[in-house]
Structure 1
Amino acid sequence: MTDHRHPRRWLILVVLCLSTLVLVIDNMVLTVAVPPLTADLRASAQDIQWVLDSYMLVFAGLLLTSGSLADRFGRRKVMIIGLALFGAASLFATFVTTPGELIAARVVMGVGGALVMPSTLSILITVFDEQERRKAMAAWSAVAVLGMVGGPVLGGALIASFSWAAVFLINVPIAVVAIAAAVVLMPESRGPWQKPDPLGAILSAVGMTSLVWMIIELPQHGFLDQNTLVALTVAVAALGGFVWWELRTDSPMVPLGLFRNRDFSGGSLSLTLVQIGNGGLLLVLTQYLQFVLGYTPTEAGLAFIPMAVASLLFNSLGAALGTRVGNRTLAVVGMVAMAAGFVLLSDLTTTTEVLTLTTALGLLGAGGGLAAPAAIAALMGAVPPEQAGVGSALNDTIQQMGAALGVAVLGSVVAANYTDAMPADAPEAARRSIGDALSLGTPTLTDSARAAFTDAMSTAFVAGAAGVLAAATVALFVMRGRKPAPEPVSV
């Protein structure tokens, strides 16, 4: 039998992993760079908020449109354009002298990231056949986890040796290598030509941007704030209009009929719930490690190594078992393991033993290594190859929304419970922020703040465990248990 697999498919996978890695590392190292760049650029708290949020707003708003563009004009072409924009904006960011210039750079980086991310997964599912796709997807997912965990470590080392600008400069050579390798190694692929859908693109961009903005504002201002209500109203109207239009137009940008497939809908919903539980994990736990246990930023990053190692090992195990036991079984088992990890994290104290933390993070990494690739494989296995770009964009959008909602929900839970647990006579700033409480240097107040934050964090992780168990329930009853049938490869 003739082997129709692409002869350079594993080298192409390296390019796809590099393209994903540059996006993940950038988002993670920036959290470490905030204190020094704040001082150097004399940025206000509002400036920093925009530096962080401008990327996410643009990225989320353009994902669906960029996936559709990739299917129409070529996935490799769109990915290369995105990498070029991301690299150029990163280089510009190293020379900025004002917060406004850095925000502008982050906006362009968001555009580049939105063009890159859907293209990587869509190229992967068109280059690899069903037999090898699971292994390729496991490697792609593992690289993303490595970037997520290694980002803070790399960022701390770069800042200590150079300056905060180095966290942006590191993106440039990775982007250049990925572009060169894509040009030399990667075949072009696209879906059948169809009419553009400008109204769908506008409605999706406005709706997704408004939804992310509402999620960002929610923890600080609550549902009754005027800005939050306006953003929610615009999001509901635009996304409702988007669904209405896509179901009626002759050439929809997004094939919403995919949600009638149980594997696609089950994988989508379970991934959303997992990300809601998982979204605030790094944000909350890094604060605990630094403010409560006294870790440095680099030490806090190193603490996540057990999670990365377990994820890598169980990614490989899941890839080997997937064709034998099916996506649903792996997803459910992995999510139950993740829930157990969250339960262990909820039992942390102000004097936690390293073994407890390591075990909990190992369970989270192992569970994620089994569950996420299986859910993504089920979801993407339901997408026709000609719609791989927009299908990948749907997957990315679902996970971004879940992660953003998770940050908002868990952040709100921690903030509210922390304030309630603090002494009523404590200074108002100390009751709102553990960082402000510790900066006052009062031993009694410091002890109260650490205990209050730990209790609040425990409540948040119980909520995270509930979210992941809900995801396991969805996967169990919605996703199909049978093994996926082989499908034709289109390159």
Structure 2
Amino acid sequence: MSTTATAWSTRLRWVVLVACSAVALVIASMAALYTALPEIASETGATQAQLTWVVDGYTLALACLVLPAGALGDRFGRRLILVVGLVVFAVSSAVPLFMGGPMWLIGARTAGGVGAALVMPSTLSILTSSLPRERRNVAIGIWAGTVGVGAVLGILGSGVLMEFWSWASISVAMAISGVVLAVAGCTIPESLDAARPAFDPWGAVSGAAAVGLVVVAALEAPQRGWTDPVVLAAAIAGVAAGVAFALIELRAEHPLLDVRLFALRGFGTGTASVAIQFLVSFGLFMLIVQFFQLILGYRPLMSALAMAPMIAPMVILSVIAPWLAERYGLRLPTAAGLATVGVALLLLSRLSTDSTFTDILWPLLIMSVGLGLSAAPATAAIVDGAPEGKDGVAAAVNDAAREVGAAIGIALSGSILAAGYSERIDEVLPMVPEQIRGPVSGSLAGALEVTEHIGPQAKPLAEVAEGAFMHGLHNACLLLGSAVLVLAVVLGLWAPGRRVNGPVEAAPADDAHEPDRTALGTGSRTAP
């Protein structure tokens, strides 16, 4: 191999490393504070509602802004937006180290979500615009695998830090990582849409409102109930904003997102598949972390380590799956992957208070196989379905689908778990002393804390509460698993099969947006 070829290969590997490290950081940050919430509450005095927004403020900002952030990257430069996003992320992560109080923490996490929104679409669009087509799908597979395991890495990393230091160490780690990656980001090639169309402000506002309102409705539903006026109003307003966004984009000369893309079978299937994957993943993570800690009695670090085996199958299959999609079409990995996830959820619905780690390990491994099969092909279908030069917007659609799916998954799982717990615990609540009914009826964690203080005589009540929790977990896994199996069939029928004579479909063309292709890219202009 020549020196030039070797240098080129090294440069490509560096681009992939930086992009995947950056997206791993912002995804890990979504789940990093799960294990730290009890300590945050005790040190800052945060209420349960405030703790919810410590986590959700980040997700909400990320979901709202990821689409306009992708368009900004196409127009002004993806490397520039990536570096700016990492700087914002690093600074906001450091704020809790100097400013106390739950409101400062919520504000800092929300600002971190803004930085993450700039980072996420930039990482994928940098890969798709900087790599030759023959290497792009492998890079997308690595990226998708990294995103898939990002939340597990966040839980694992925070568990390790919490084992030795306070929750503030998580902020330190995220701030330092953000600075290091911002410096590294300055060394990769710049790329942008050569046409540099005018930014679509009305599309950006209506799109952010649609996503934001839907996410708020999903996040508030577990606490308020799905029929609460605030939840219903947010959901209806979100749908109305979504309709307005579609009408604006259909009329815009340079739309933020051509909504006709969703009619393309590959693009539409990929978007739906990505949303389902994150809906299931984050919904299950919320359930399983509680199962490990409340039923099996694991410490935060052990809970994180118990989920670590999911990483290997997901990463390995994410690299192989794009090849399967190229050979057999999007239909096979989508249907097979989602069906595998559905089977894993049904197996998890059979857990009991007597289950061991082995009982839960095999369903988790099966689920990681399903996610590994379906993740990368879905992302590749979204990227391939977008017009040339719109890599940032394609990446943003991919990321927005993930964030909305994650928010709905957390809300749906939480609501089903709470409803199942209440259904069973309400049967014995009249026999519980009035002074402890509140904690017992609220959650298994509250019930176990109360019964531990009472002593051995409260063991029957603890067992009833554990059984009520498992009833809610059964219902959540059973409903999610059944729904995913149905969706696997629907998307399998809708997804395009194997391409025989060239592409089955093409994205809507716009000759004015045809990019200037140069040495590094296959769809956008790049610069050193």
Where on the TM-score scale, by shorter chain, does this alignment land: which range?
over 0.9
**Closer, same or farther in 2 for the Cα pair 1:252/1:245, shift >3 Å?**
same
CA drift at 1:30: 0.8
* Match of residue 107 from structure 1: 110
- 1:226 counterpart letter in structure 2: P
**Closer, same or farther in 2 for the Cα pair 1:248/1:297, shift >3 Å?**
same
Whether contact under 8 Å (1:273, 1:467) holds in the other structure is no
CA drift at 1:385: 3.2
- For these two proteins, the number of residue pairs brought into alignment is 489
- CA distance in 2 between partners of 1:50 and 1:117 (Å): 21
Whether contact under 8 Å (2:266, 2:330) holds in the other structure is no
1:59 has 2:69 as partner: no
- 2:472 counterpart letter in structure 1: A
Q: Select the structure of larger CA radius of gyration.
A: 2
Structure 1: 4+ residue segments shifted above 6 A: none
1:481 has 2:497 as partner: yes
Whether contact under 8 Å (1:6, 1:127) holds in the other structure is no
Give secondary structure in 2 for the equivalent of 1:68: helix
Deviations 1:116-140 (A, max 9, x none): 1111111111122332222112211
Give the TM-score taking structure 1 as reference length: 0.95
Deviations 1:118-174 (A, max 9, x none): 111111111223322221122112223333213222212212322111111111232
- 2:376 counterpart letter in structure 1: P
* Aligned partner of 2:292 among 281, 289, 292: 289
- 1:276 counterpart letter in structure 2: L
- CA distance in 2 between partners of 1:159 and 1:296 (Å): 10
* Match of residue 471 from structure 1: 487
* Match of residue 514 from structure 2: none
- CA distance in 1 between partners of 2:174 and 2:364 (Å): 28
* Match of residue 474 from structure 2: 458
Whether contact under 8 Å (1:126, 1:385) holds in the other structure is no
* Match of residue 336 from structure 1: 339
Q: Which moved more, 1:472-481 or 1:409-418?
A: 472-481
* Match of residue 193 from structure 1: 196
* Match of residue 435 from structure 1: 445
Give secondary structure in 2 for the equivalent of 1:188: strand
* Match of residue 37 from structure 1: 40
**Closer, same or farther in 2 for the Cα pair 1:43/1:428, shift >3 Å?**
closer
Q: Equivalent residues in 2 for 1:271-420 (5 A)? A: 271-420=274-423
- CA distance in 1 between partners of 2:192 and 2:214 (Å): 32
- CA distance in 2 between partners of 1:387 and 1:191 (Å): 10
* Aligned partner of 1:266 among 261, 265, 269: 269
Identity of aligned residues (%): 31
Give secondary structure in 2 for the equivalent of 1:170: helix
- CA distance in 1 between partners of 2:8 and 2:387 (Å): 18
Q: Which moved more, 1:314-323 or 1:179-188?
A: 314-323
Whether contact under 8 Å (1:129, 1:489) holds in the other structure is no
Deviations 1:69-104 (A, max 9, x none): 111111111111100100111122222211121122
**Closer, same or farther in 2 for the Cα pair 1:320/1:254, shift >3 Å?**
closer
Give secondary structure in 1 for the equivalent of 2:389: helix
Give secondary structure in 2 for the equivalent of 1:313: helix
- CA distance in 2 between partners of 1:456 and 1:174 (Å): 38
Whether contact under 8 Å (2:67, 2:393) holds in the other structure is yes
Whether contact under 8 Å (2:322, 2:380) holds in the other structure is no
Give the TM-score taking structure 2 as reference length: 0.88
- CA distance in 2 between partners of 1:190 and 1:249 (Å): 18
CA drift at 1:301: 0.8
- Alpha-carbon RMSD across the aligned residues, in angstroms, is 2.1
Ranges in structure 1 where 5+ consecutive residues have no aligned partner: none
**Closer, same or farther in 2 for the Cα pair 1:393/1:475, shift >3 Å?**
same
Give secondary structure in 2 for the equivalent of 1:96: coil
CA drift at 1:191: 4.7
Give secondary structure in 1 for the equivalent of 2:351: coil
- 2:42 counterpart letter in structure 1: A
Deviations 1:296-345 (A, max 9, x none): 11111111122112212322332453432333212221112111211111
Give secondary structure in 1 for the equivalent of 2:68: helix
- CA distance in 2 between partners of 1:315 and 1:143 (Å): 9
- 2:77 counterpart letter in structure 1: G
Whether contact under 8 Å (1:156, 1:297) holds in the other structure is yes
- CA distance in 1 between partners of 2:194 and 2:450 (Å): 60
Whether contact under 8 Å (2:309, 2:365) holds in the other structure is yes
- 1:473 counterpart letter in structure 2: V
* Match of residue 116 from structure 1: 119
Whether contact under 8 Å (1:200, 1:252) holds in the other structure is yes
1:449 has 2:465 as partner: yes
* Match of residue 176 from structure 1: 179
- 1:471 counterpart letter in structure 2: L
Give secondary structure in 2 for the equivalent of 1:119: helix
- CA distance in 2 between partners of 1:444 and 1:17 (Å): 49
- CA distance in 2 between partners of 1:135 and 1:369 (Å): 13
CA drift at 1:420: 0.6
- CA distance in 2 between partners of 1:143 and 1:397 (Å): 17
CA drift at 1:214: 0.9
* Match of residue 162 from structure 1: 165
- CA distance in 1 between partners of 2:205 and 2:188 (Å): 34
Deviations 1:220-267 (A, max 9, x none): 222332222332232122222111111112121111121121100111
Ranges in structure 2 where 5+ consecutive residues have no aligned partner: 452-457, 507-521
